[in-house]
Amino acid sequence: MMPGELEQPGEIRDRRRIRQICSFRGFRFGTISPTDLDALIEFRRLAYVFFEFKYGAIPIGRGQMLALTELADDVTRAGKEAIVIVAEHDIADPAADIIAAETIVREVYYRGDWFALEGGRGQWTAYQVADLFLRCVMVARDRGGLAETIIRRDLLEQEA
């Protein structure tokens, strides 16, 4: 095993460190302050998936929403695909683990638009949405098509 490599991918190596808070106190640039990102996946130099996980119906903050949308738009302008997934969980105990793959997707941001994944479409887990998005990216690459057309049709059920 290489130094720094995790024994089990996706598992936390040092639970004490993950619980340590990194304060942004004193980090202000006018009205701008740092935000966090819960997770990201860089996929084969083709796409990025950005995740934000919230407890229950707690909304994503305006500043964080702006940062995530700008990040996704910048990646897209660079010629890669990007999606922001906002998912929620119902784990009230802050000491209990949240299984990110099983969180329920509330909304996604893709190519300039926010889409709610609720109602008649059923519930999608964060894993299912990320998996479908990445599969669409691969299909588009292999067939020379636009990932946007496939993603809007298959995931977001919108016309491209």
* Residue 42 placed within a domain: yes
Residue 127: predicted pLDDT: 96
Q: Which residue has the higher pLDDT, 32 or 18?
A: 32
Residue 160: predicted pLDDT: 42
* Residue 57 placed within a domain: yes
Domains: count for the chain? 1
- Residue 39, pLDDT above cutoff 50: yes
- Of the pLDDT bands very low, low, confident and very high (cuts 50, 70, 90), residue 159 is very low
**pTM, two decimal places:** 0.83
Residues 6+ away with beta carbon under 8 Å from 103: 53, 87, 88, 89, 125, 126
* Residue 129 placed within a domain: yes
- Residue 19, pLDDT above cutoff 50: yes
Structural domain of 116:
37-154
